[in-house]
């Protein structure tokens, strides 16, 4: 592999769609030289996708390239950052030019869309794994964080929830819409940028709404009330659950609470900002939905629109917590 490494880098990762002026030196030297704009903070995050854990043998290489960058851009979105650069550590079991070309195509299509330049990386031999580090900018002191929510703030999510989780469960069922949400998640960059003006706290939903909302509440020892009937479902989600068959487990209406991988943003907004925020995010394709409210009492309580508790007190727990 060492002999191949330079060929791989030259063939797949040197030429790329984005050339930024703030990159003084990109791929090819011992390290990259990058310019951070005056008055901005550098926002840095990293995520790894491991074969057999985060994707399977049937996941298209283009999807792996897309998702490796997308999950990082999602973290930048949750900070309100504007994406700029990425580095890529690739561990490959073999030199497979077609796989690499597809991988690079998926990676660079998304990089191009958000004007992200790949400025370096590492290429090694071993079990397939992909690590991306993404870098972005935020004006000094303006980053959106996981803490900052206050009792009375409204809770919102962008887009729809549960799609990726249902796609994982229905692996063998052909549902293009769900499949696409799992393989090609769309980072909510535009929403993150817009939320800098309105949100008190933001997190991206990678592990499931309840788990990630929990991370928003913990730092300030707050609680939340969630209207389970308000959780946004996609058309593909509703179509899939109407098909005859055993149906997903946990029941579909709980999937948006427990399933991860949707990469939507979950955020809180003080009531005086809600109307303006809703108008602003309503202009984006993903939109946003109000799903609940922050409360002083710690813990997450779910209820139906008519006010009745969910699950009913006699039932005890949500299904997925029973397992």
Chain residues binding ligand ADP by CB under 6 A are 9, 13, 27-30, 88, 90, 118, 120-123
DSSP letter (8 states) at residue 193: H
At closest approach, how far in Å is the CB of 79 from ligand ADP? Answer: 24
The number of residues that bind Mg ion (CB under 5 A) is 1
277, 220 Cβ separation under 8 angstroms = no
- At residue 125, φ and ψ (nearest 5 deg) are -100, 135
CB-based contacts of 316, cutoff 8 Å, min separation 6: 322
How distant is the alpha carbon of residue 187 from its chain centre? 5
Selection from ligand ADP, Mg ion, none that 176 binds (CB < 5 to 8 A by kind) is none
What's the CA gap between 1 and 92, in Å, rounded?
9
Task: Decide if residue 30 touches Mg ion (CB under 5 A).
Answer: yes
At closest approach, how far in Å is the CB of 303 from ligand ADP? Answer: 49
Toward Mg ion, which CB reaches closer, 24 or 275?
A: 24
Selection from Mg ion, ligand ADP, none that 214 binds (CB < 5 to 8 A by kind) is none
Toward ligand ADP, which CB reaches closer, 5 or 295?
A: 5
At closest approach, how far in Å is the CB of 25 from Mg ion? Answer: 13
At closest approach, how far in Å is the CB of 12 from ligand ADP? Answer: 8
In sequence order, the β-bridge partners of residue 34 are: 23
The pair of three-digit structure tokens given for residue 307, joined into one six-digit string: 């006010």
What is the largest distance, in Å, between two alpha-carbon atoms of the chain? 66
Toward Mg ion, which CB reaches closer, 30 or 323?
A: 30
Task: Decide if residue 29 touches Mg ion (CB under 5 A).
Answer: no
Toward ligand ADP, which CB reaches closer, 121 or 148?
A: 121
At closest approach, how far in Å is the CB of 3 from ligand ADP? Answer: 12
Selection from Mg ion, ligand ADP, none that 309 binds (CB < 5 to 8 A by kind) is none
At closest approach, how far in Å is the CB of 29 from Mg ion? Answer: 8
Angle at 26 between CA 25 and CA 30, to 5 degrees: 80
Toward ligand ADP, which CB reaches closer, 71 or 231?
A: 71
Selection from Mg ion, ligand ADP, none that 123 binds (CB < 5 to 8 A by kind) is ligand ADP
- At residue 180, φ and ψ (nearest 5 deg) are -65, -35
137, 92 Cβ separation under 8 angstroms = no
- For residue 280, give the nearest of 187, 196, 194 by alpha carbon: 194
Toward ligand ADP, which CB reaches closer, 66 or 233?
A: 66
For residue 250, CA distances in Å to 159, 246, 261 come to 21, 11, 16
- Contact residues: Mg ion, CB under 5 A: 30
């Amino acid at each position: 592999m060492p002999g191949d490494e330079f060929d791989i880098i030259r063939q797949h990762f040197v030429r790329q769609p984005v050339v930024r002026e703030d990159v003084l030196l990109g791929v090819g030297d011992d390290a990259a030289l990058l310019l951070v704009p005056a008055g901005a903070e550098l926002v840095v995050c990293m995520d790894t996708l491991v074969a057999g854990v985060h994707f399977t043998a049937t996941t298209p290489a283009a999807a792996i390239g897309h998702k490796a960058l997308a999950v990082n851009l999602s973290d930048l979105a949750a900070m309100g950052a504007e994406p700029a650069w990425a580095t890529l550590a690739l561990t490959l079991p073999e030199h497979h030019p077609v796989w690499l070309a597809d991988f690079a195509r998926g990676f660079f299509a998304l990089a191009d869309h958000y004007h992200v330049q790949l400025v370096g990386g590492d290429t090694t031999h071993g079990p397939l794994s992909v690590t991306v580090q993404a870098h972005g900018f935020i004006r000094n002191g303006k980053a959106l964080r996981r803490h900052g929510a206050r009792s009375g703030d409204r809770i919102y999510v962008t887009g729809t929830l549960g799609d990726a989780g249902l796609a994982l469960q229905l692996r063998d069922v052909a549902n293009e819409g769900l499949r696409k949400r799992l393989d090609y998640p769309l980072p909510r960059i535009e929403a993150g940028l817009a939320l800098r003006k309105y949100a008190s706290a933001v997190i991206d939903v990678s592990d499931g709404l309840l788990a990630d909302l929990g991370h928003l509440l913990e730092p300030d020892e707050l609680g939340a009330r969630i209207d389970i009937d308000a959780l946004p479902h996609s058309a593909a989600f509703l179509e899939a659950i109407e098909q005859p068959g055993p149906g997903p487990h946990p029941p579909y209406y709980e999937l948006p609470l427990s399933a991860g991988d949707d990469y939507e943003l979950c955020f809180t907004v003080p009531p005086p900002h809600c109307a303006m925020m809703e108008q602003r995010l309503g202009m984006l394709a993903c939109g946003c939905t109000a799903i609940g409210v922050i409360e002083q009492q710690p813990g997450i309580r779910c209820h139906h629109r008519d006010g009745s508790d969910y699950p009913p007190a006699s039932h005890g727990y949500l299904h997925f917590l029973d397992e």
